[in-house]
Amino acid sequence: MPLVVITGANRGIGLELARQYAADGWQVVATRRDGSNQGGLADLAGVEVQPLAVNAAESIAAFAALMQGRAIDLLIHNAGTMGPDPTRQSKDGIDAAGWLETMQVNALAPILLTLALKDNLRPGAKVATLSSQLASLAENVSGGLYAYRASKAAVNMGIRSLAADLADQGIILLALHPGWVQTDMGGPKAPLPVGDSVAGLRRVIAAAGPTDTASFIAFDGRRIPW
Ligand SMILES: NC(=O)c1ccc[n+]([C@@H]2O[C@H](COP(=O)([O-])OP(=O)(O)OC[C@H]3O[C@@H](n4cnc5c(N)ncnc54)[C@H](OP(=O)(O)O)[C@@H]3O)[C@@H](O)[C@H]2O)c1
């Protein structure tokens, strides 16, 4: 049974990823930070729930220690934050401390966690990070969301470096866009049901081969320009 690790799996896209991979027969290690609401995670059969606050170095180290000796086929960096209120990451005001916290969660954590788990990754393993279309430099014509956009663009750059640096191990790195999804983050106007987004993401991940490493792909297979 292949093993997938999913961060931020107590709600939203992460919870649905855990549900669908478990239903498909995968071994699922689903992480959530202490104190977060468990959502339906505790009720999912066959899912192992472990603590992980992705913005805390000691929590990443503790999780890596707990995973020692376990081979990982797929690592999904899903935990993420929108950062400060949109009005506080706009031309009318920048919350500088909030911007840095956003970078910690969205940009730094996926890189630190990948490196902490790199000896667990099987040859040919995949590392998929939930980025966002809003990270695209080429497609940003609408402005705003400075901290969120910058943090996802930064993680994309980290993914490109990791793809080059881990190529010898045969690891495939992907930056993914899940669509505009009906979750707490997506909000009430989001058009895409979480089940459809996750089904699409799983198809993209399954289809990805060595030549797809360092690609930026949407849930429906569209290649997103960096
Ligand atoms: N929804 C969309 O339309 C959309 C679009 C593009 C990209 N994305 C990306 O997709 C991913 C999942 O989004 P979502 O819509 O499912 O978001 P969500 O509903 O807001 O859920 C976010 C998840 O991340 C976890 N998280 C946040 N900070 C964390 C930390 N420091 N340590 C551990 N876990 C943490 C949350 O845990 P708590 O419950 O403890 O807060 C929660 O489980 C994110 O990376 C997001 O940027 C979403």
pLDDT of 24-80, one tens digit each? Answer: 999 999 999 998 877 789 889 889 999 999 999 999 999 999 999 999 999 999 999
- Rounded Cα distance between 173 and 161, Å, is 10
Task: List the chain domain ranges.
Answer: 3-218
Q: CATH assignment of 3-218, given 3.10.20.580, 3.40.50.720, 3.40.50.300, 2.60.120.10?
A: 3.40.50.720
Q: Do the beta carbons of residue 174 and residue 204 sit within 8 Å?
A: yes
Q: For residue 110, how far is the Cα from the chain centroid?
A: 7
pLDDT at 7 over 80: yes
Output the CA 168–ligand 1 centroid distance in Å.
31
Residues 6+ apart with CB under 8 A from 27: 1, 2, 3, 4, 46, 48
pLDDT at 208 over 80: yes
Q: Which of 38-47, 107-116, 196-205, 212-221 has the lowest mean pLDDT?
A: 38-47
Q: Which of 5, 7, 11 to mutate to test the pocket of ligand 1 (most atoms within 8 A of CB)?
A: 11
Q: Do the beta carbons of residue 8 and residue 178 sit within 8 Å?
A: no
Q: Do the beta carbons of residue 177 and residue 132 sit within 8 Å?
A: yes
pLDDT at 92 over 80: yes
49: nearest Cα among 66, 65, 61, 73: 66
Residue listed under structure tokens 């990451």 = 89
pTM: 0.98
Output the CA 109–ligand 1 centroid distance in Å.
13
